[in-house]
């Protein structure tokens, strides 16, 4: 389908004022398709002009103002309309296919009980896969929805719904919303309800997950209530979408969640069927807060065009962490933001695919690739910096005025700057120019001069930028003086300073630190107020392995872990030293979010990509030892023990460790406090499969034991990871062939296929990625091409030949999604090549 361009959207928005959609969906027409009829009422500013409406699928009827239109006049997804009168009524009927890739109306059959579930995902321009519409964000209208479904089903929508007859549902008209926020969910959901502050709260999941949701009902409802209370405290505008708020956990969802007003959809992996740490619960609470923030940022006030995607996502990201930290039991949520989300933002902003936070977007296809760490994490970081600069009171005053001016309408960057300048009294045009309208990340480095008494003669901070994006920015940061006290490192003094390149240049003096005893650790960006990479001074760098784990403040540790990660990726810290740092850190770390980060980021880049041969084996052994010690020393049932068990299950390579994993899988020798649940069983089996200690028979036995949808996905991943030629050939054919597989199965096969232990076995497929993936992408949406393109990339083939093949593909590839995937993954590969060059095997220590 052709993408809508910004020019086309501007012309159509100037022409049309859409007042109402009346949408009738029939979900009883079979397993392959559904029927859709949509009546659109709109006013035209001019007559005697042409425009178009979008509709996918098989067009069966179209009538404009009583006159039948020729269905054959449609060009792909665009049905032309000749506007001959001011007031118009368009009625379009179509038969549309169900999706299995999380777009349009996704259909899922639960293997646990054969129950069918449907949900609509209308974002980014997929509403047209469901009903005829003017599919752009600045043509908002009220939606009235009627649904026919099997009698035993529940149907949930954007507004309060009523079952008017067996299998017949009607929903109250919505407030004006863009088509991309339309949602219905249908199936035999298990539903739980509560009431809070005049709002009916609903939680819904498929029947086979009801027993997993039940123990978490209190937590889910409590977090939802707390978030509503905090938003109502900050915002003068109450919840803007009626008196219902449903949260629906749906299967095979591509993103984390979607902010449909009144009917938020979440991936149902957030219903935990196995043991998880508090970090995962905190992450779920943040997502709840993030999606609720969208009820104001994006839903009440929507962007005019995708240039201002950040007005949705950056604000929701910032508010999500702010509200989670201030209103729920997860009062250290900013640690998770620092140690995980910001790392995503830094990586995105240094890739060749970087873009400004407020980016120029040519068409909807291009917009899809901007849902990344810049629009989310960097944007949220910049907002946090803005709040530190203008003050919280002025920030909230500006936001509330923004809501008043643009409620149920659309706004752009210039509108937001106007209200914030007025509320704060600060000029923001230059701030916007350097922070929002130009890409790139700055690096802040301490320059210290210590006298013979061990006191600071001077402390300065040098700001630098990349040659590709040489912009320096104003930063308000904390600077922490940290000192050892026994086996603890604590802050002795912290100052906030403004770095202003306009008045100070690239180097800023800190006179308030002159004469102080030199710190054991001088920490820039203490408190994590800005978006910028930091470096340590010479003393801090030399003793980092001892200082970092001993630091008492978890947020300071998170900042330091982020700095160490960037030092590694910039080839300023050897991968072996980074692994040593992780192994020491695991021995003392107790914050769940930091532990999770050390678990997920300790192996792939530093070991599998940056090290080779004996060095890789030694580093993997160091990690395995650290995780093994966690298993034996951590308190039973604690987050530390959880990370230790799962870490060992990813790093085990020696026969004794693999024997232990096999024993655990058989139920023998499990440490006290560890439950051998379904997810842990698959984690253990996966490692045994990769290393050749288990095979197809064990996978099928586990699949027979775990008949859930999650079990089926795990089985696909394990089958693709089998270390034999036949298994790889089958997996590659399933991945790149024409067999219709769901989004989850495609992702699982791609994940399992490439393994660092199987480089020789998969060598024939390295170049096939670059020849086979373009044809795959041509059959898929850009979203799916990007997801599979990333996960199927031959990431462990860290060789210049891989990068050259990627460059050749990028010269011809047409798929926007595949292009973004190849650009980003090749950037990671080139980072690893640079680290290998900087730290060859004979000097890596």
pLDDT in tens, 312-332: 999 999 999 999 999 999 999
Write the pLDDT tens digit of every residue in 697-722: 999 999 999 999 999 999 999 999 99
CA distance to 347, 482, 608, per residue, from 566 (Å) = 9, 21, 17
Question: What is the model's pLDDT at position 845?
Answer: 41
CATH code for residues 6-187? 2.60.40.1730
Question: What is the model's pLDDT at position 419?
Answer: 96
What superfamily would CATH give domain 207-243+250-258+266-441? Answer: Neutral Protease Domain 2 (1.10.390.10)
Question: What is the model's pLDDT at position 204?
Answer: 98
pLDDT band at residue 843 under the 50/70/90 scheme: very low
Contacts for 504 with CB less than 8 Å, ≥ 6 apart? none
pLDDT over threshold 60, residue 219: yes
Which three-class secondary structure state does DSSP give residue 118? strand
Write the pLDDT tens digit of every residue in 556-583: 999 999 999 999 999 999 999 999 999 9
pLDDT over threshold 90, residue 126: yes
Q: Which two tokens stand for residue 264?
A: 């938020």
**Catalytic residue annotation:** 291
> Stretch 54-62: mean pLDDT, rounded?
97
Q: CA-based Rg of the chain, rounded to a whole angstrom?
A: 27
Indicate the DSSP class of residue 607. I
pLDDT over threshold 50, residue 842: no
Question: What is the model's pLDDT at position 365?
Answer: 87
Write the pLDDT tens digit of every residue in 655-702: 999 999 999 999 999 999 999 999 999 999 999 999 999 999 999 999
* Sign, Cα dihedral of 386, 388, 394, 397: positive
Distance of alpha carbon 355 from alpha carbon 333, whole angstroms = 27
Write the pLDDT tens digit of every residue in 725-742: 999 999 999 999 999 999
In this structure, the strands spanning 168-171 and 184-187 are unpaired
For residues 49 and 23, the answer to whether their CB atoms sit within 8 Å is no
Contacts for 620 with CB less than 8 Å, ≥ 6 apart? 603, 607, 651, 653
Segments making up each domain of the chain, as ranges? 6-187, 207-243+250-258+266-441, 443-530+532-573, 724-845
Buried b / exposed e along 496-520 (16+ C-beta atoms within 10 A): ebebebeebeeebebeebeeeebbb
User: For the residues of 126-137, what is the DSSP string, one character each?
Assistant: TGGGTS-B--ST
Question: What is the model's pLDDT at position 1?
Answer: 74
Question: What is the model's pLDDT at position 660?
Answer: 97
Question: What is the model's pLDDT at position 368?
Answer: 83
Question: What is the model's pLDDT at position 844?
Answer: 41
Q: Which of 674, 687, 676 is nearest to 714 (CA)?
A: 687
pLDDT band at residue 630 under the 50/70/90 scheme: very high
Question: What is the model's pLDDT at position 331?
Answer: 95
> Stretch 609-631: mean pLDDT, rounded?
96
pLDDT band at residue 186 under the 50/70/90 scheme: very high
pLDDT over threshold 80, residue 435: yes
């Amino acid at each position: 389908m052709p993408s809508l361009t910004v020019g086309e959207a501007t012309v159509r928005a100037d022409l049309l004022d859409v007042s109402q959609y009346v949408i009738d969906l029939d979900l009883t027409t079979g397993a392959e398709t559904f029927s859709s009829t949509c009546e659109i009422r709109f006013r035209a500013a001019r007559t005697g002009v042409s425009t178009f409406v979008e509709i996918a699928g098989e067009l069966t009827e179209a009538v404009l103002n009583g006159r039948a239109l020729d269905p054959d006049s449609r060009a792909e997804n665009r049905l032309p309309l000749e506007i001959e009168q001011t007031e118009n009524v368009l009625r379009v009927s179509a038969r549309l296919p169900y999706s299995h890739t999380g777009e349009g109306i996704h259909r899922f059959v639960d293997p646990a009980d054969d129950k069918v579930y449907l949900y609509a995902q209308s974002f980014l321009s997929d509403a047209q896969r469901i009903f005829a519409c003017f599919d752009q964000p600045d043509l908002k209208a009220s939606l009235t929805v009627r649904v026919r479904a099997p009698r035993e089903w529940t149907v949930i929508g954007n507004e309060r719904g009523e079952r008017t007859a067996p299998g017949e549902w009607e929903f109250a008209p919505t407030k004006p919303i863009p088509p991309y926020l339309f949602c219905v969910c249908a199936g035999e959901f298990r539903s739980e309800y509560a009431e809070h502050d005049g709002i009916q709260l609903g939680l819904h999941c498929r029947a086979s997950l009801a027993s997993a949701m039940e123990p978490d009902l209190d937590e889910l409802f409590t977090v939802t209530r707390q978030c509503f209370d905090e938003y109502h405290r900050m915002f003068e505008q109450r919840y803007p979408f009626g008196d219902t708020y449903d949260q629906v956990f749906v299967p095979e969802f591509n993103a984390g969640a979607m902010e449909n007003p009144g009917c938020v959809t979440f991936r149902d992996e957030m219903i935990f069927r196995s043991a998880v740490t508090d970090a995962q619960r905190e992450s779920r609470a943040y997502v709840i807060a993030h999606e609720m923030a969208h009820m104001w940022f994006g839903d009440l006030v929507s962007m005019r065009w995708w240039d201002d995607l950040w007005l949705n996502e950056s604000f929701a990201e910032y508010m999500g962490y702010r509200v989670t930290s201030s209103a729920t039991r997860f009062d250290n949520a900013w640690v998770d933001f620092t140690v995980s989300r910001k790392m995503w933002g830094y990586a995105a902003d240094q890739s060749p695919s970087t873009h400004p936070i407020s980016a120029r977007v040519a068409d909807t296809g291009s917009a899809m690739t901007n849902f990344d760490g810049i629009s989310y994490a960097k944007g949220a970081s910049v907002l946090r910096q803005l709040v530190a600069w203008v003050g919280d009171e002025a920030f909230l005053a500006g936001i509330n005025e923004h809501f008043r001016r643009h409620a149920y309408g659309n706004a752009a960057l210039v509108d937001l700057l106007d209200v914030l300048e007025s509320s704060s009294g600060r000029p923001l045009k230059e701030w916007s120019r350097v922070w929002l309208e130009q890409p790139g990340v700055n690096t802040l480095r301490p320059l210290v001069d210590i006298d013979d008494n061990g006191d600071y003669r001077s402390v300065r901070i040098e700001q630098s930028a990349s040659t590709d994006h040489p912009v320096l920015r104003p930063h308000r940061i904390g600077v922490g003086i940290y000192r050892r006290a026994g086996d603890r490192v604590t802050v002795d003094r912290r100052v906030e300073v403004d770095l202003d390149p306009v008045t100070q240049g690239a180097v800023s003096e800190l006179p308030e630190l002159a004469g102080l005893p030199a710190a054991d650790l001088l920490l820039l960006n203490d408190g994590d107020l800005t978006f910028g990479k930091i470096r340590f001074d010479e003393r801090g760098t030399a003793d980092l392995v001892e200082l970092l784990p001993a630091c008492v403040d978890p947020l300071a540790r998170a900042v330091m872990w982020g700095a160490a990660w960037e030092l590694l990726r910039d080839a300023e810290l050897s991968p072996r030293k980074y692994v040593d740092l992780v192994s020491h850190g695991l021995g003392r770390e107790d914050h769940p979010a930091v532990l999770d980060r050390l678990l997920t980021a300790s192996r792939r880049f530093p070991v599998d990509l940056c090290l080779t041969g004996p060095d890789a084996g030694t580093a993997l052994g160091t990690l395995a030892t650290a995780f093994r010690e966690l298993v034996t020393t951590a308190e039973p049932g604690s987050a530390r023990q959880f990370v230790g068990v799962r870490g060992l299950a990813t790093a085990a390579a020696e026969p004794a460790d693999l024997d232990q994993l096999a024993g655990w899988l058989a139920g023998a020798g499990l440490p006290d406090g560890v439950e051998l649940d379904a997810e842990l069983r698959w984690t253990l089996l996966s490692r045994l499969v990769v290393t050749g200690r288990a095979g197809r028979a064990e996978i099928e036995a586990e699949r027979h034991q775990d008949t859930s949808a999650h079990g089926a996905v795990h089985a696909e991943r394990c089958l693709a990871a089998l270390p034999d030629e036949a298994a790889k050939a089958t997996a590659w054919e399933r991945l790149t062939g024409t067999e219709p597989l769901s989004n989850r199965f495609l992702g699982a096969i791609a994940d399992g296929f490439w393994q660092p232990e199987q480089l020789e076995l998969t060598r024939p497929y390295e170049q096939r990625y670059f020849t086979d993936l373009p044809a795959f992408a041509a059959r898929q949406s850009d979203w799916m091409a990007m997801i599979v393109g990333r996960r199927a990339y031959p990431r462990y083939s860290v060789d210049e030949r891989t990068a050259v093949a990627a460059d050749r593909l990028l010269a011809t590839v047409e798929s926007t999604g595949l292009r973004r995937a190849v650009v980003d993954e090749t950037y990671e590969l080139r980072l690893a090549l640079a680290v290998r060059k900087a730290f060859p095997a004979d000097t890596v220590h």
